[in-house]
Amino acid sequence: MQASGFGVRNALEAQREHWFVFQPVLLGVGIGLYFALPQEPPLVLVTLAAAFAGLAYAGSRGALAILLGVTFVVAVGLALAKARTEWVRAPVLEKRVGPAEVRGYVVLVEPMAKRGQRLTLDVTGIEGMPPDKQPVRVRIRAMTPLAGLKPGDAVRVRATLAPPAGPALPAGYDFARTAWYASLGGVGYSLSVPQMDTEAQPAPWPLRASAAIARVRQAIGARILAAVPGEAGAIANALITGERGGISEATNDAFRDAGIYHILSISGLHMVIMAGAVFFAVRLLLASFPSIALRYPIKKWAAVAAALAALGYLLISGSAFATVRSYIMISIMFLAVLMDRPALAMRNVALSALVILVIYPESLLDVGFQMSFAAVVALVAAYEFVNENRKFAAAWRRSVLGRAAMFFGGITLSTIVAGVAVAPFAAYHFHTSQQFAVLANLMSIPICNFIVMPAALLALLLMPLGLEWIALSIMSFGIDAMVWCAKWTAALPGAVAHIRAIPLSAFLLMVLGGLWVALWPARSRSLGFAAIAGGLALSPMLARPDVLIGRDGALVAVRAGEEGRYTALASRSANFELKRWLEHDGDPRATREATFSAKTPGGVRCDSLACNVAVKARTVAVVRHPAALRDDCTRADILVLDIPRPKGCDRPGTVIDFHGLRRHGTHAVYLGEDDVRVETVAQYRGDRPWSAPRALPAPRVVERAASPAARTNDAAPDAELRPEAEGDDDPRFEQD
């Protein structure tokens, strides 16, 4: 055993130069541990733990030093996440508020594709609410927009607000957690046209500064849409200013299903093309003057120019989180050029990840962060492997055909490598796989690289002269070609495969195995493939709920019938939750197809008072009216109520009522042979700042009942408070 211990230590010491690339991985482990805790740890305790680990590491040697060093970095990650949580702490609404007048300064104006606009406001006052309870920031959907509204304007609007929504099912995406780190304390919809607030004081100077940039961005968007109307203009606007609200959902879906949605999101691809074009253009221009090229470091001058261009692109593109992340990465690449270091190296990628995780620890849970770094790490590892075999590449570069083959082969290889790298993330978060992504990227990436993005850069350069229409006409031609590629690929049979949810353990095994393969240079990297195989073996092992009950009882889904698919009893306001449930189950049906109707096959019996269904030899009763309680309280094994549980209803072994649903969120019921297991959203979220208990509203008063089929047509203002009404809060990012 002692010899084995020395062998491990010697193997680690032999790879000391590669330790640095594992620092962000260890930091991420600590951040992940913080978010996995069931309760919020005290800041003092976390800080002391990190300090103690650091002191112990400083005074140790040998194998103990390695172990304590790992512990120290993990503890620092946990402490950073806790410190960030406290730094952004701000009030969050405890219950639904309104209709009430909301006053504030406009931070962001986002036009919506279907109707209206979405406003992000820094709140100055909410009618009837004390200042210490008011959220710092809210987001409101205005169905009727105010013309000429700009960032920095003071407005007032009558609106209904609610706390940011929690997960649609246990272990699902938590929008409330994302909102916490954006200081977003409420979301809602307006009941009137926003009006200018003439009584407001001037906006604070930080907001005025950011608003000035936002106004320039808005003006650029207006010029683009004036030159290129229609959806081509909306996509051009998205690629230059980052404003994607004008793109139709059908086009978004086509790009997602084709596996090229990353083209629509300003991130690494666009930043590299824009900054790279400036770098090569400036270097080429300077190289044309021998007196300059022979005396000065023109490569470094070009790197500085490209870095400044990247900063400008960051500012006019809206500085979205994915864009900031990409800017940090490319800035470090150009910094490496200034320091005479290789720009494309795994250490630079690791340094980028470290910087981002230190500044924004919560980004570890961001799907865009995960997928972009997975793709970049895999691509850099593949590049380093190919770079070790330069003789093979040099043979292909000797002819024009060889160089063309290398170019398209590079796109194909890059797409395959990146696609394999992000596949576990797509399966875990989105439960889909795009089968023809290689084909779509092979067609679209050259168009984006050589037509669309260079034309976008040219449009920005010509805009001060009023000649942007020349470049935008070329850009729109390329955009139309990309849209055609996306729609054609998405329409191919089997373009999208739907995957059932996989366990967290399987996902982590595949991710850690992939990191080990990419980052560890020794022969023992094969252990990473073993971990990946283990994750694949565990993927089908996740238990699937037999009954799902939404947070207010309006939506219940039961696994009925021989096919074992969900049949949902739902209202239209529950479409978002039902869509998430079907995706989680790997079910490709639309929500309408999965919702109970008169044409639903046998197995579910419904009338105007209640629904009954047999699931695994147990009777599940969903009561919609108190008149059905007498029978169902005595006959049902599982009783679901959207009203409080009445006294005397003690026969059912499991009762899930209004108060339980409101306190604990969606309930997932698993039926075993001898037991019934219930899991809730609250159990998974734990007692954290973004999951603090909210005040309970009054229970629903039932005056008359409607059949479940009729309920599907009910209008529901609450739909505007769900994340899908907010646009892109359900993350749909792809690799950069």
Taking the whole predicted model, whether its pTM rises above 0.75 is answered as yes
Which range has the worst mean pLDDT, 83-87, 122-126, 588-592, 725-729?
Answer: 725-729
Per-residue DSSP letter, 17: G
Judge contact between 360 and 84, C-beta under 8 A: yes
Half-sphere exposure of 710 (CA within 13 A, CB side): 10
pLDDT score of 496 more than 50: yes
Of the candidate ranges 268-272, 687-691, 711-715, the one whose mean pLDDT is the lowest:
711-715
pLDDT in tens, 613-631: 888 888 888 887 777 777 7
Q: Name 188's bridge partners.
A: 140, 161
Q: Report the distance separating Cα 724 and Cα 721, nearest Å.
A: 8
> Which two tokens mark 106?
């406009």
pLDDT-based confidence at residue 487 (cuts at 50, 70, 90): very high
Q: Among 243-252, 456-465, 692-701, where is mean pLDDT lowest?
A: 692-701
Statement: residue 58 has pLDDT above 70: no
Q: Phi and psi at residue 619, in whole multiples of 5°?
A: -95, 120
Alpha carbons 447 and 452: distance in angstroms, whole number: 6
Q: Locate tokens 């007032």: which residue?
A: 156
Dist. CA 23–CA 62, nearest whole Å: 19
What value does the mean pLDDT take over residues 404-413? 69
d(CA 332, CA 406): 27
**What is residue 719's predicted lDDT score, i.e. its pLDDT?**
43
Which residue matches tokens 């300090």? 51
| pLDDT, mean of residues 720-732 | 44
Instruction: Please tell me the distance from the alpha carbon of residue 390 to that of residue 376, in angstroms, as a whole number.
Output: 21
Q: How far apart are CA 626 and CA 629, in angstroms?
A: 5
Separation between Cα atoms, residue 511 and residue 428, nearest integer Å: 11
Using pLDDT thresholds of 50, 70 and 90, give the confidence band for residue 534. very high
pLDDT at residue 138 greater than cutoff 90 = yes
- Which of residues 53 and 501 earns the better pLDDT score? 501
Question: b/e string for 268-296 if b means 16 or more Cβ within 10 A?
Answer: bbbbbbbbbbbbebbbeebeeeeeeeeee
Q: Give residue 732's pLDDT.
A: 40
Q: Which CATH fold topology does 97-204 show?
A: OB fold (Dihydrolipoamide Acetyltransferase, E2P) (2.40.50)
> What is the reported pLDDT for 441?
84
Contact 351, 332 (CB under 8 A): yes
The tokens describing 103, both together, are 């006053």
Contact (CB, 8 A) for 447 and 478: yes
pLDDT value of position 144: 83
128 φψ region: left (φ > 0), alpha (ψ -120 to 50), beta (else): left
Q: Residue 154: phi, psi to the nearest 5?
A: -90, 130
pLDDT band of 17, cuts 50, 70, 90 = low
Which amino acid is residue 372, in one-letter code?
A: S
Q: Give the least confident one: 1-15, 32-46, 265-279, 610-624.
A: 1-15
> How many residues does the structure list for the chain?
736
Query: What residues does 118 pair with on adjacent strands?
Result: 110, 141
The SS3 of residue 735 is: coil
pLDDT at residue 718 in the model = 44
Q: pLDDT averaged over the chain? A: 80
pLDDT surpasses 80 at 31? yes
Q: What is the pLDDT of residue 395?
A: 56
Assess contact for 118 and 140: CB atoms under 8 A: yes
